Amino acid sequence: PTSAPTSAPTSAPTSASTSVPTSVPTSAPTSVPTYNPTFVSTMANCLDAPSVRNAADTATCAGSSVGEECDVLCLANYEWPGDHAVVCVAGGSWSIESECVALGDEMMVGTVGMLSLVFTEDGDFTLEWALVSVQYFVDAAAMLLGV
């Protein structure tokens, strides 16, 4: 008598592993990855001294940090306007608001005057009259300005 061969039942392969680790690490890692970024400043210092007209020396300002003011020493017979500043700004350049001014050259600020001419169709205004009157208007403007 022949008998049918017997075989062990086969199971279909599983698509995902469902095993859970049963051991836990017993020691800490021996090395930790490090990250050292390099910082590049966009607010570079002012490496060079500022160039200020009629200044005797600004060399001490070289290497100033952003936001620092530079003390300006003017040439003889020149002075620095006290309410202005030379400031190191982002990018390594200088903000220069003024220059050394010759003593006696500074105009009076705040003096306002108005000088006007009225032209009419029938007026006697001619080039000859204007040329003769120029000195009058120059003197009037100087008086208004206090110079």
CB 75 within 8 A of CB 99: no
Look at the block and give the residue holding tokens 């060079």: 48
The answer for 3, left when phi > 0, alpha when psi is -120 to 50, beta otherwise, is: beta
Reported as a single tens digit per residue, the pLDDT across 104-118 is: 754 444 444 555 555
| Length of the chain in terms of residues written | 147
CB atoms within 10 A of CB 134: 9
Residue 65, pLDDT score? 92
Reported as a single tens digit per residue, the pLDDT across 63-93 is: 999 999 988 889 998 888 877 889 999 888 8
Q: What CA–CA distance (Å, rounded) separates 94 from 48?
A: 9
Domain boundaries, the chain: 55-102, 107-147
Reported as a single tens digit per residue, the pLDDT across 2-42 is: 555 555 555 555 555 566 666 666 666 666 666 665 554 55
CB 145 within 8 A of CB 107: yes
Q: What are the Cα distances from residue 126, in Å, to 82, 114, 117, 120, 134?
A: 47, 22, 12, 12, 12
Q: Which residue has better confidence, 6 or 51?
A: 51
